[in-house]
Structure 1
Amino acid sequence: MHDAGSLGTILGVWAHPDDEVFLSAGLMAAARDAGQRVVVVTATLGERGTTDSTRWPPERLGRLRGLELAASLAAIGVTEHRHLGHPDGSLARQHQLQAIDELAGIVEQVQPDTIVTFGPDGLTGHEDHQTVSAWASTARAASAPRARLLFATTTESFVRRWAHVHDRLDVFLADGLPLRTPDADVALALNLSGADADRKLVALRAHASQTAGMLATIGEDTLREWWSVETFLDADRTPLPQRRGADAGAAAGPAWGTWQLVG
């Protein structure tokens, strides 16, 4: 990307703290460096994102992850954040019209030129991610139909290069993921190196409750390189597989698997 200013005001809509940094930290930092406004919306605090619920009960982990998010956003120059306040792992079971209406209100207030979120696959197959994608798409149609809608995606080259990491870390939660998006279909790509990659690494490390284990397993250099390329699809120009819902027909596309929290 050579002109971050062309994206105008950016609104990122995500499910949990750390989604925004893994998938769009470089994009947000470039936009902020160009003087653009960036607003991040997080649906939950990710308060159930632990394998040790005794040490990290939801209330405590939610507080911690909120602080981690603030530190991570500060590292990339983002100062505006909105939290929707939904329980982690529950988005598909929330009152959908109310949730979309709340998000549409934020979209109307911000009036973004560009909205960035997950594609219908949820990128990892996480049900919260898939639900946020649907909310963001519907809210955009209602409140900012002229805004560009970008879906974070993964490419064929990404999947090939990092297969050894994906085999070690349980990141992608459904058959058919990660997506192997052809490079020709990518609408926007950022290749981070040098100081830009280091800045993203700092933002990733700020989410220590989620990234410390990755760092211990794969090392800092690998984590830095793994997400050093950010790729996005233009939702209006590229045919996308659709999540199968209660009102979707049999030809809607693959039924993306979902990840359900336990306990």
Structure 2
Amino acid sequence: MVDINSQRRMLLVHAHPDDETIGTGATMARYVDEGAHVTLVTCTQGEQGEILVPELAHLAPERDDALGEHRAKELAAAMAELGVTDYRFLGGPGRYRDSGMVWGDEGRRAVAPESVRPDSFWAADLLRAADHLVEVIREVRPHVMVTYDENGGYGHPDHIQAHRVAMYALLLAGVDSYRRDLGEAWPVPKVYWTAMPRSVIQQSIEMYKDHPDSPFGEAKSADDFGFVVDDADVTAVVDGSSWLGRKAAAMRAHRTQIDVDGPFFALSDNMGQEIWGKEHFRLVHGTPGDVDPETGWETDLFAGLEP
């Protein structure tokens, strides 16, 4: 149930179950605790994901093809950890299938497979998919919307498609004469794209270069990763360090996708909090509010909006 009287309403658009927790989990938990209404729209059930739990290997597409339903349950468990009660799948569960991906650009960037199923999100009709989100936008009436940049972060086709759908729906939802049957028009005041600043990754690589469980492997430069953005393009940071425990618990809920013995869970010191507890964004629509004088970044995604 959407509390349209809430003075702070946020809508996040992500591609697969687990994306929301990895990229914005601390932000979601923080704003829930601060009284905001947080809505998550996930575009696919992640049917093509790699399964990290051997005893669940039978869920794979080439066997039982039941991973999507299982990941939907993982998503529900993760949302319980973050305190988010309003979460939906775009167009309903199973409407759009995970498109899969392969690695290109020498492993720095994901790309679409040579062929995808006709029911995959990558093959979806853009207007039809956007209309599903227009209906949600007009129902929730968010003050802030969050999604990926035009590269989908690291290039996954479903992330790119989520970006396209979100930005198209943003425009359509605010047009009074467009599809009145989908609800009353709502112009979203502020829109952010998730971002990972180059300096944060570079500093983190240096900090963890001698750490046996470094999440950066043998990388020596932030430019070894295709998802970094110039610091000058970053406009906001949400300090969710106090909610890092909740984020970690939500990540554990996505056990088919995230190695609970992996680097994230090994990094429990202050350096780990700096990397995983602070989530960065780029304001791409709307007017910025007050910024931190030292960084020039907003520290509240709702900054500048009328109460």
Note the 1:11-90 alignment, pairs <5 A: 11-50=11-50, 55-58=58-61, 59-84=65-90, 85-89=95-99, 90=120
CA 1:38 to 1:167, structure 2 compared with 1: closer, same or farther past 3 Å?
Answer: same
- How far apart are the structure 1 equivalents of 2:71 and 2:128? 25
Matches within 5 A, 1:107-186: 107-143=137-173, 144-163=186-205, 165-167=215-217, 177-182=226-231, 184-186=232-234
Deviations 1:130-155 (A, max 9, x none): 11001101111111434311100110
Q: Aligned-pair distance for 1:168?
A: 6.4
Q: Provide the secondary structure at the position in 1 that maps to 2:29.
A: helix
In structure 1, what is the equivalent of residue 248 of structure 2?
201
Evaluate the alpha carbon distance shift between residue 54 and residue 198 of structure 1 in structure 2; reply closer, same or farther with a 3 A threshold.
closer
Shift of 1:69: 0.4
CA contact (8 A) 2:215 2:264 kept: no
Q: What CA deviation, in whole Å up to 9, does each residue of 1:223-252 have, x standing for no partner?
A: 8544222000001379xxxxxxxxxxxxxx
Q: Does 1:187 align with 2:235?
A: yes
Structure 1 range deviating more: 115-124 or 138-147: 138-147
Identity %: 31
Aligned counterpart for 2:124 among listed residues 88, 94, 119 = 94
Q: SS of the counterpart of 1:87?
A: coil
Structure 2, unmatched stretches of 5+, are 1-5, 100-119, 174-185, 206-213, 288-307
Going from structure 1 to structure 2, the CA distance change for 1:75 and 1:219 (only over 3 Å counts) comes to: closer
* Partner SS, residue 235 of structure 1: strand
TM-score when normalising by structure 1? 0.77
- What CA distance in whole angstroms lies between the structure 2 residues aligned with 1:130 and 1:148? 20
Residue type of the partner of 2:84?
Answer: V
RMSD across aligned positions (CA) = 2.7
Once the two structures are superposed, what CA deviation does each residue of 1:150-201 show, in whole Å capped at 9, x if it has no partner?
A: 10011012221344524469xx9x987122331x5422212333x4111111
- One-letter code of the match for 2:195? T
User: What's the TM-score, normalizing by structure 2?
Assistant: 0.67
Q: Give deviations 1:200-227, integer Å, cap 9, x for gaps.
A: 1111111111112xx3342513385442
Count of aligned pairs: 226
CA distance in structure 1 between the aligned counterparts of 2:48 and 2:81, rounded to whole angstroms: 24
Question: Which structure's CA Rg is the greater one?
Answer: 2
